[in-house]
Structure 1
Amino acid sequence: MDLDNPVVRLCGEGMRAEVEGRPDDARALFSQAWEQASDDYEACVAAHYLARHQPTVADRLYWNRVCLQRADAVGDERVAAFYPSLHVALAHCHRELGNIDAAARHFRHAADHLDALPTGPYGEWLRYTVAEGLRDTGALVRTPGEERLAQLLESLCERKDLRSLALPLPAFVGNLGTPSDHERLAQAAQQLHAEQRLSPQEQEALRHAVAALP
C-alpha cells in the first residue's frame, strides 16, 4: 500500500494504536480514514480496518461487505492482496451467524486468491486459516489417506517429535485440496517414510497412509 496516502497513513496509525492497547483511539482513526476517503481504493482500505472494530457480528459483516464492494470497484492490482483476508473475514462472520454455506463459499474464494499474497509467514498462516475453514464448513473432506496420516501426526504431536513433524505437518494443515497441495503432502509423507526414523509400527502406518493419498 502507498504509505504516503493520507487514508493509508491513518489506518497505519490506527493499527499502531490497536497494538498498543488503545482500541478507542484505533476506532477513531479508522473512522477518520473512512470519512476522508475520496475514492473506491481509499474507501476499501478504510472499511477493511473499520470492520475490525465493530460491536456486533452483523456490523462486521456489513463493513466487510462494503470493503468487498469497493475492492471490486477498484478492480486492479492495488487490492489483489486484500481479497484473501477479506473473504476470510466474511466467512468468519457468516459462520458465527450460522450461514455455513455462505461461509464455505467465502473460504473457497479466499483460497482462490491466496496466490496474490507474497511468500512468507503471513501468507502461510492465512493458508492454514483457509484450509481449516474449508474443513470446518464441509467444503473440504479429507481422503482416507489423509485421515490415516492425521492419526499418525496426532501421535507425533503427543510425544512432541518436532523433527518428524517438520515436513509433513505444514503440508497437512495447509492442504486446500488442490492437485498441487495433494502432491506436496504426498511428497512430504514419502520423505518422512524414506528417513526411516519412526518406529516399525509407525512406519507401517505411514506406508499405508502414503499408499492411500491421492
Structure 2
Amino acid sequence: MSASQKRASQIVNNFFTLASIIMISVVITLYSKYGPKVKKEVRVNSNLECQKQTFTFDSITRPELLKDASYFFKNGLYVLSGGFTKPRFGKFYLKNKISVDEADSFFRSSIAFAQRENPVKYLKIKYEIIENDKNDPRKKDEKSKSFAGTILSSFRINGKEVFMMETNFLHYDKNEIKNRIECTIKAFKHNAK
C-alpha cells in the first residue's frame, strides 16, 4: 500500500469518525430536549396531619443551616418577632380576638424549650398574622374568601431564612390560631431533625 493510499484511507476514517461524533451529539441533544421527561414531585408541605386541615405550604430554603437552627431552637436560643397585617379594604377583626403577646405565648408553649434571655447568636422566629381581606376587589373567587387569615412564619439565622411556612386559619378564633401555630412548630421540628 502506497503512502497516498494510506493518507486517503486516513482521511476517510477521520471523516467517518467526525460524522459519527456529530450524529451522536445530535441524537443526545434531541433526546435530552424532546425525550421522555421524568416528573419530579413538587413538595408542598411536610405532609403532617395538621397540615392537611387547611391550605399549608412550607419550604426549606437553606438546608445547610437546618442543623444550626435545630441547635439554637432546642437550646432556647430563639427570639420571637411577630405582628399583624391589617386588611386594606375591610374591617380589622383580629385586633379584638388576639394580641401579639398572646401569639408569642402560643409560640412559646408550642416550642416547649425555655427561651433564654438576650442570646448573642439565635434563631429568629418571625411571624406575621395576616387577616384575609375579603373585600379586596381583586379577589374574585370564593376560595380566596373562604378563610379568615394566614400565619406566615419564617425561621432565620443571621437574617438568612432557613425554613418558612404559610398556613391558613378558617375562623377568627384563638384556638384555631393556636392550632396553626402549633402546626408550624411541629413542621419545623419535623424538618430540623
With structure 2 as the length reference, what TM-score do the two structures score?
0.24
| Structure with the bigger percentage of strand | 2
Normalising by structure 1, we get a TM-score of 0.22
* Greater radius of gyration (CA): 2
